[in-house]
Amino acid sequence: MSKLVPALLEWFATNARKMPWRETHDPYAVWVSEIMLQQTQVKTVIPYWERWMRDLPDVAALAAAPAAKVLKLWEGLGYYSRARNLHAAAQLIVEKFGGHFPRAFSDILELPGVGRYTAGAIASIAYNDPAPILDGNVMRVLTRVFGIDGDPRGKATNQQLWALAAQLVEHAANQPHSAKTRACSHLNQSLMELGALVCTPRQPACPACPVRQLCVAQRDQRTQELPALAPRGATTARRFVAFVITRGNRHLVQQRPSGVVNAGLWEFPNLELKAAATPPAERVALPTGRIVRATTSLGSLTHSITRYRITVEVFRAELLEDSPQPDEHWVSATELEELAFTSAHRKIVARLG
Nearest-approach distance from CB 216 to ligand SF4, in angstroms: 8
Q: Angle at CA 142, nearest 5°, toward 137 and 145?
A: 125
**Which residues in the 136-195 window bind ligand SF4 by CB under 6 A?**
141, 144-145
H helix intervals, the chain:
4-15, 27-37, 42-55, 59-64, 67-74, 81-97, 105-109, 116-127, 136-146, 155-173, 178-181, 183-197, 216-219, 333-338, 343-352
Nearest-approach distance from CB 78 to ligand SF4, in angstroms: 29
CA atoms within 13 A on the CB side of 290: 22
Q: Check if 34 is active-site.
A: yes
- Residues that contact ligand SF4, how many (by CB under 6 A): 15
DSSP 290: -
Compute the distance between CA of residue 28 and CA of residue 6 in angstroms, rounded to an integer. Answer: 29
- Output 109 or 206, the one with its CB closest to ligand SF4: 206
**Residue range at the interface with ligand SF4 (CB under 6 A); choices 37-45, 129-137, 150-158, 202-210:** 202-210
**Residue range at the interface with ligand SF4 (CB under 6 A); choices 121-129, 166-174, 207-215, 341-349:** 207-215
Q: Of residues 59, 63, 192, 199, which one binds ligand SF4 by CB under 6 A?
A: 199
Nearest-approach distance from CB 349 to ligand SF4, in angstroms: 42
Nearest-approach distance from CB 215 to ligand SF4, in angstroms: 3
Q: Please report, as a single letter, which amino acid is at residue 104.
A: A
- Output 61 or 197, the one with its CB closest to ligand SF4: 197
Nearest-approach distance from CB 226 to ligand SF4, in angstroms: 8
Compute the distance between CA of residue 249 and CA of residue 262 in angstroms, rounded to an integer. Answer: 27
Compute the distance between CA of residue 230 and CA of residue 175 in angstroms, rounded to an integer. Answer: 36
Catalytic residue among 10, 23, 34, 272: 34
**Which residues in the 15-74 window bind ligand SF4 by CB under 6 A?**
none
DSSP 207: G
End-to-end CA distance of the chain: 57
Residue 106-125 contact track with ligand SF4, rule CB under 6 A, x = bound: --------------------
DSSP 275: T
For residue 254, give every residue at least 6 positions away whose Cβ sits within 8 Å of its Cβ, in sequence order, or none.
266, 267, 268, 269, 288, 325, 327, 328, 329
Q: Of residues 204, 227, 269, 280, which one binds ligand SF4 by CB under 6 A?
A: 204
Residue-wise DSSP of 64-117: HS-HHHHHHHHTTS--THHHHHHHHHHHHHHHHHTTPPP-SHHHHHTSTT--HH
Residue 209-248 contact track with ligand SF4, rule CB under 6 A, x = bound: x-xx--x-xx----x-------------------------
198 binding ligand SF4? (CB under 6 A): yes
What burial class does residue 111 get, using C-beta atoms within 10 Å of its C-beta: 0-12 exposed, 13-18 middle, 19+ buried?
A: buried
Nearest-approach distance from CB 209 to ligand SF4, in angstroms: 3
- Output 139 or 183, the one with its CB closest to ligand SF4: 139
- Output 58 or 151, the one with its CB closest to ligand SF4: 151
Q: Which residues bind ligand SF4 (CB under 6 A)?
A: 141, 144-145, 198-199, 204-206, 209, 211-212, 215, 217-218, 223
What are the catalytic residues?
Answer: 34
